[in-house]
Amino acid sequence: MTELSPDVAHHSALDARMVKAAKGIRLLSQVSWPASVQKSFLDEAAQGRYPMPVIEYPEYDFHEERRELDAIANEADHDHPIGRYLCESARSWSVAAGLLEVLGTHAVSGLSIELFGRPDEILPGKGPTTREAARHFIDIADELDRELLSPAECVSISATALQLQLQSALDDFFNQRVIEVVLDPDLIAKAAAGATRIRLRHGAAFSDYDRHQLIEHEAFVHSLTALNGREQPHLQSLALSSPRTTATQEGLAVFAEQITGSIDIERMKRISLRIEAVAMALDGADFLEVFHYFRAAGQSDADSFTSAQRVFRGVPPTGGSAFTKDTVYLRGLISVHTFFRWAMSHGKLLLCRRLFAGKMTLGDVQRLEPLFDQGVLVPPRWMPQWIVRANGLAGMLAFSLFANRIRLDAVAKGGDFFDLDV
């Protein structure tokens, strides 16, 4: 084991304190609605009635935890790569704890924006806003002819069948039982992943695209980064889903779907609809208006409820506030895709692999590079096949770098562009 320098040992000890302080702060599970609320609502909806949901949140007091997290941030050296990581992580956990203490109030919205951002934020590279990008994907999905779908894309897979398929694939990947796939009747989302367990909603129907997305997104990003983070001897917090890493985590997970061909335009539409719904809620739309927005977009009552409750987690359902976590998906995807292209052009593809060594931001993996080189941080034990096959990844990125130099507006002016018989 690498002998630690005094500065690294100091920050490693602070990291251990942070892991302990953050143990009870489970943001996503603590803001989620109970499954009983969904059942009650859908029973009424089946009769043509749509009552406003009433949510009662537990009261939390994280005063001691927030005090400890603030102390950790103050004791860390912001000019040290681990120190800066600790400062930003501790403050992120502290904001999350503060959010949980005001559940059910409009104050949650501002704290959520502090953690996850807003739909009107500019995308990397001074591009359009996240909301404008979302509308782009919604428009494209609406224009496509659904008759182009292959028969295989229209066949539903039961949760039980998918459980068996995923379990078999994961056992083959690890050559042992490392991640367990279970059915959960109390889960509102269709799926959720932890380090060693993936939950599927009992009774839900899945598509073939869902199966591939769950493998690449949930298992081979969210679960693998958590498992690899547990392998870190000196920075155990890399196994935790800190709120500040959410954009990179979700961006990397959607990028994994994209690069493996596991994403479809309907998936992009679902992600984009949620961003538009967050913007609607911030502009004053209530839960029922957002629910009917998803219905009008073609979602079932059950899926519309699931989508709408994501927007109103922790906040009053009467409008004017939102839980903004869903805004990170497109922003994260664009950021991760841009980072991979930058890494390719600068001979830094090793940084892309190191993103799997734990849950970190794009800035973290760059600042912590010397710690990887020194052996203080260890490389990821498990990685998905697409990142292991460096030549294939490099080929895709090299083409992407070149193709982005071609201007479509200029192509449209060339009348003989598609005449290839020359």
pLDDT (tens digit per residue) in 106-120: 999 999 999 999 999
Torsion sign across C-alpha atoms 366, 84, 16, 92: negative
Query: CA 232 to CA 255: how far, in whole Å?
Result: 24
Cα four-point dihedral sign 77, 81, 85, 88: positive
Q: How confident is the model at residue 97 (pLDDT cuts 50, 70, 90)?
A: very high
Q: How far apart, in whole angstroms, are the C-alpha atoms of residue 198 and residue 121? A: 32
Mean pLDDT of 126-150: 83
DSSP structural state of residue 222: I
Give CA separation, 307 vs 33, 217, 222, 239, 316, in Å: 12, 18, 21, 28, 16
Q: Is the pLDDT of residue 369 over 80?
A: yes
Hey, what amino acid is at 99? Answer: L
Residue 280 and residue 360 in contact, taking contact as beta carbons nearer than 8 Å = no
* pLDDT value of position 154: 63
How much is the pLDDT for 219? 97
pLDDT at position 127: 77
Closest C-alpha to 28, from 137, 122, 129, 116: 116
Q: What is the dihedral of CA 274, 283, 334, 85, to 10 degrees?
A: -100
Q: What integer is the mean pLDDT of 65-74? A: 98
Closest by CA position to 302, among listed 291, 314, 312, 311: 291
Maximum Cα interatomic distance, the chain, rounded to a whole number of Å: 74
* 189 pLDDT higher than 60: yes
CB 69 within 8 A of CB 92: no
CB atoms within 10 A of CB 140: 13
Within a 13 Å sphere around the CA of 118, how many CA atoms are in the beta-carbon half?
Answer: 14
pTM equals: 0.93
Residue 308 has pLDDT above 60, yes or no: yes
Q: How confident is the model at residue 81 (pLDDT cuts 50, 70, 90)?
A: very high
State both tokens at 401.
Answer: 């770098």
- Give all strands of the β-sheet with 191-193 in edge-to-edge order: 180-184, 197-201, 191-193
How large is the average pLDDT for residues 328-351? 93
Other CB atoms within 10 A of residue 190 CB: 18
Q: What is the mean pLDDT of the chain?
A: 92
pLDDT band at 59 (very low <50, low <70, confident <90, very high): very high
Of 143-152, 290-299, 321-330, 341-350, the poorest mean pLDDT is in: 143-152
Which helix (H) or strand (E) is 410 found in, with range? helix 408-413
Note the pLDDT of residue 390. Answer: 74
Say whether pLDDT at 141 is over 50. Answer: yes
All structural domains of the chain with their residue ranges: 26-61+102-406
Report the pLDDT value the prediction gives residue 392, as an integer from 0 to 100: 79
pLDDT at position 406: 63
Whether residue 83 is predicted with pLDDT greater than 60 in this model: the reply is yes
Please state at what angle helix 301-311 crosses helix 35-45, rounded to 10 degrees: 130
Q: Is 394 exposed, middle or buried (0-12, 13-18, 19+ CB in 10 A)?
A: middle
Q: What local confidence, expressed as pLDDT, does residue 420 receive?
A: 45
Residues, the chain? 422
Name the band, by pLDDT with cuts 50, 70 and 90, for residue 407: low
pLDDT tens figures, 341-368? 999 889 999 999 999 999 999 999 999 9
Q: Distance between terminal CA atoms of the chain? A: 63
CA-to-CA distance for 319 and 288, rounded, in angstroms? 9
Best CA proximity match to 64, nearest among 39, 101, 31: 101
Average pLDDT over residues 251-267: 93
Cβ–Cβ under 8 Å, residues 219 and 387:
no
Query: Would you say residue 24 has pLDDT above 60?
Result: yes
Helix (H, G, I), strand (E, B) or coil at 73: helix
Residue 417 has pLDDT above 80, yes or no: no
